[in-house]
Amino acid sequence: MSVETSEKVLEAGPGADEPAVDPRRRFELLEDCSKLVVSELSRVIGEALDKLSDEMVARAMTEARRENQQVLLEAVSVVRKHRSDIEFRFRESFADVLRRRMFKRGGAAAAEPAGGLELALVDDDAVEERIAMERLAQRARNRLDPDQVLGMRARLAALLDREWFEENDHPASPEAVFDALRCALDALAPAAEVRSALLQAFEPHVSVGLNNVYSFVNERLKSNRILPTIRPRVVGSAESRARGKDDGRVAEQAAAASPIAAQPDRGAQPAAALDAFEALMRQIAAGQPSARRSAARMLSDPSTFGMADLPIPSAEPPLIEALNALQAMPETAAAGGAPNMSQLIDQARQKGSALDQVTIEIVSLVFDYIYSDRSVPDTIKQQLLRLQVVAMKAALIDRSFFARRQHPMRRLIDRISEIATDPDVDVGAESPLVAGIADLVDWIIEHFESDLATFEEAVRRLDLLMHAEAERRAARVAQIAREAERLEALAHAQEAASAEIALRIDPVTPVFVREFLYRRWSRALAHARVDADDPDASWAGGLRAAELLIWSVAPKAPDEIGRLAAVLPKLISALMKGLEPVGMECAERERFFNELLQWHTRAVRDAKLSAGRPAQPAAATARGGAEAGARAQPPAPRPLQDDAAAGAATGSGLPGTPGEGDSRIDALQRGDLIELDEDGSRRVFRLAWIGPTRKLFVLTRFPDVGRSLSRGELIRLFDSGCARRATSASTLDRAIEAVAQPEAA
């Protein structure tokens, strides 16, 4: 059925026949809402300004390009110097934008100021700026609750005695907010790239804040009888509305005056769409399998079934009564449901219309898909199974269940599934969270009759459960973060140690000593710098031991034999002590010291054989004291590295030299879900921590401890296909999409 030429608007529902609000009261409400919107959004901007500095500094530390870092740091400077000024100027600018948008009529686009978003700009810079602003506004719109947006558009239009506000043109739209923000920043005259960085940093805060503002305003206006109940009606496109405006007004007036004003005028729907819908219902009644699949696609299409209170027949009362009886059965309340529940549901389904039957059938298919989803733990599946009858009732009462993510029952299932698939959550059979969800399902089964607000309360109770779960794991997460910060500090210290060792290596230093210094001693130095009681002294002592080791394996003159004999006991002791926190395996340590002993033995023998020969200058001398001297350094060799071996030795996963950048790794954010293939199985982890320089990443999964991976290790896992970002689609979204696929018929 074609819907390209139609859109949904809102009209008054059953509350339309309430006494009209007098003009004076409307003016008072208009002033009240204006102050509310300006005050709340100013508070949002103020709270955002408190956070922007830290957020942009963190972003700057992850930027590879110096010019991008400089832009972010300049933006931080603007926020810190002009915080109060930005907040004040935004309030003034937004109040002005709000007034202009409220009282502007159609065709008044020229009333926008020279800097407005609606102005046609011609130079390239201005066009690019306008495109960037539109992208910011679109990003914010994508995060808004569509029901709240539609409510704002309809109720503000009703308050102002207007027909309608277009999506981008209502007084508190994202475009209006970013327009005011841009004006506030322009007054401070920052560079264009700095202003752009600030606007992008504001966007997440604006998106969250707008949702709350819209909710406040809608509730305020509903409580004052401004469209207390609204519902959709399908109308033609903007062009067709312009052509048939007068006819539409007559139809609305007739519908409002009729005894069945609660039902929108079905004549307003395109005739072709209505005919197609009725034909499909006849095909379903005739038992055509393809018609059921077509109905599934129709019911899950947001463009046709994306709103509640649709102008289609209500569910048959005998069917609702049968489902009420099933819901009241003790077997339904039991974990896992009744074994013969599917047969009982089939019997109940026969009491409904063709549309009712296909609705129940699709709900059953969706739940079958959820139960086969391996990402959802069995303990949670058992609880979801108990909600199947409740979900059927909710889908029959509000047909937008499949098409609208904001459907209350769908939000509840999505929230439970989201919790269940969180790798950091304890979903064991005896866990407090699973017990809490079981109690919540008991409460829903007992209390839900026909009011969908029951599910809103259920979501609130579920959030309280998650809050308690978050508090239980807060100490664990904090410990993981502290350990991650320590590992990051160790990584930086190891890089610094490798650089210091490179300055001291001689061309004649044996390979086994080089390998020991870069692979083992650099890590010992890192632990000394981070964990020692006196980091500076321990670091200096570790470097002195490295210098003595390098000197000890260099060619010796006869007169140096005595000094070598005196130095070796202290050197060996210092090396053994320094290696303790590194955890070098006994066999590897024994091999190294045996080879070192053999090398020293040969060095002493060669020195004695060279007695009486002309003295040759030593290739290396120990630094420090009277023996220190300036000498040309050869090019520093690349440090030997083996991230996997280093991580296995201590379990720390410390990186060596970081690998090359990878766009997939750079795109990762804290909280992302990562799938890892391990031992033939796939497990999901949460990215709990990212180092400031993005060289260290910590993955967590209950009850495992944090797993630390260097940047190079993570890149190799992604390149090999052993790691990938987990899908962000909800379990219910995937189930509905699968059910509506034609090939699944």
Angle between helices 354-372 and 289-299 (to 10 degrees): 80
As to burial, measured by CB atoms within 10 angstroms (0-12 exposed, 13-18 middle, 19+ buried), residue 50 is exposed
Closest by CA position to 328, among listed 408, 389, 399, 249: 389
Name the band, by pLDDT with cuts 50, 70 and 90, for residue 480.
confident
pLDDT at 287: 67
Residue 139 has pLDDT above 90, yes or no: no
Q: What does the pLDDT read at residue 745?
A: 37
Residue 9 in tokens:
């608007």
Model pLDDT, residue 16: 41
Contacts of 411 (CB under 8 A, 6+ apart): 405, 455, 459
For residue 237, what pLDDT is reported?
A: 37
92-97: long-range contacts at Cβ-Cβ below 8 A with a sequence spacing of 24 or more? 92/184, 93/179, 93/180, 93/181, 93/183, 93/184, 94/38, 94/41, 94/42, 94/176, 94/177, 94/180, 95/34, 95/38, 96/180, 97/171, 97/176, 97/179, 97/180, 97/183
**What is this structure's pTM?**
0.49
Residue 307: pLDDT band (50, 70, 90) is low
Q: Is residue 699 over pLDDT 50?
A: yes
- How many Å apart are CA 603 and CA 373, to the nearest integer? 68
- Does 36 score more than 90 pLDDT? no
| Burial of 15: CB neighbours in 10 Å, binned 0-12, 13-18, 19+ | middle
Write phi, then psi, for 690 (nearest 5 degrees). Answer: -130, 130
Residue 632: per-residue pLDDT: 31
Nearest Cα to 98, choosing from 12, 147, 40? Answer: 40
Q: Is residue 407 classed exposed, middle or buried when 0-12, 13-18 and 19+ CB atoms within 10 A define those classes?
A: buried
* Residue 292 binned pLDDT confidence (cut-offs 50, 70, 90): low
Q: At residue 644, does pLDDT exceed 50?
A: no
Q: Which two tokens stand for residue 566?
A: 């005196």
pLDDT of residue 387: 92
- What are the CA-CA distances from residue 614 to residues 294, 602, 611, 617, 629 (Å)? 98, 20, 8, 10, 22
Torsion of CA 658, 662, 664, 670, to 10 degrees: 30
Q: What is the mean pLDDT of residues 603-610?
A: 83
- The arithmetic mean of pLDDT across residues 286-308, rounded, is 67
Between CA 201 and CA 48 the distance in angstroms is 9
User: Residue 734 is inside which H or E element, if any?
Assistant: helix 731-740
Out of 51-55, 604-608, 689-693, pick the least confident.
689-693
Residue 8's beta-bridge partner residues? 234
With tokens 């077997």, the residue in question is 331
Average pLDDT over residues 493-509: 90
99 vs 516: which has the higher pLDDT: 516
Look at residue 522 in the predicted model and tell me its pLDDT.
92
Burial of 472 (0-12, 13-18, 19+ CB in 10 A): middle
| Residue 516: predicted pLDDT | 93
**What pLDDT, on the 0 to 100 scale, is given for residue 250?**
33
Which pLDDT band holds residue 328 (cuts at 50, 70, 90)?
confident
Give percent of the chain above pLDDT 70: 74
pLDDT mean over 644-653: 36
Do 366 and 380 contact (CB within 8 A), yes or no? no
The candidate with the shortest Cα–Cα distance to 359, out of 314, 423, 408, is: 314
Mean pLDDT for 140-151 is 80
DSSP state of 168: T
What 3-state class would DSSP assign to 232?
strand
Q: Is the pLDDT of residue 450 over 60?
A: yes
What average pLDDT does range 143-154 have in this prediction? 81
Q: What is the pLDDT of residue 705?
A: 67
**From CA 351, how far away is CA 315, in angstroms rounded?**
10
Which H or E run contains 85? Answer: helix 66-103
What pLDDT shows up at residue 546? 93
How confident is the model over 627-640, as a mean pLDDT? 34
Instruction: Map 445-457 to HEC letters.
Output: HHHCCCCCHHHHH
Helix (H, G, I), strand (E, B) or coil at 81: helix
The terminus-to-terminus CA distance of the chain in angstroms comes to 19
Q: How far apart are CA 522 and CA 582, in angstroms?
A: 10
Please give the pLDDT value at position 128.
67
Q: Residue 440 — pLDDT band, cuts 50, 70, 90?
A: very high
Give the pLDDT band of residue 340 (cuts 50, 70, 90): low
d(C-alpha 696, C-alpha 676), whole Å = 17
In whole angstroms, how large is the CA radius of gyration of the chain? 35
pLDDT recorded at residue 594? 92
Mean pLDDT across 90-107: 76
Q: What is the DSSP string of 261-279?
A: TTS--GGGS-HHHHHHHHH
pLDDT of residue 444: 94
pLDDT of residue 40: 87
pLDDT for the residue 541: 92
pLDDT band at 238 (very low <50, low <70, confident <90, very high): very low
Q: Contact 118/108 with Cβ under 8 angstroms?
A: no
Buried b (16+ CB within 10 A) or exposed e, 526-565: bbbbbeeeeeeebbebbbebbbbbbbbbbbbebebbeebe
Least-confidence region, from 243-257, 335-349, 472-486, 490-504: 243-257
Q: Predicted confidence band at 545 (pLDDT cuts at 50, 70, 90)?
A: very high
DSSP H helices in 610-728: 643-650, 663-666, 711-719
Kindly report the number of other CB atoms within 10 A of residue 432's CB atom. Answer: 13
Q: Comparing C-alpha atoms, which of 541, 524, 743 is closest to residue 649?
A: 524
| The residue to which tokens 């991650």 are assigned | 484
Q: For residue range 582-599, what is the model confidence (pLDDT) as tens digits?
A: 888 889 989 999 999 999
Please state, rounded to an integer, the average pLDDT across all residues of the chain.
Answer: 75
pLDDT for position 726: 83
Q: How many other C-beta atoms can be found within 10 angstroms of the C-beta atom of residue 383?
A: 19
Amino acid at 338: A
What pLDDT, on the 0 to 100 scale, is given for residue 104? Answer: 64
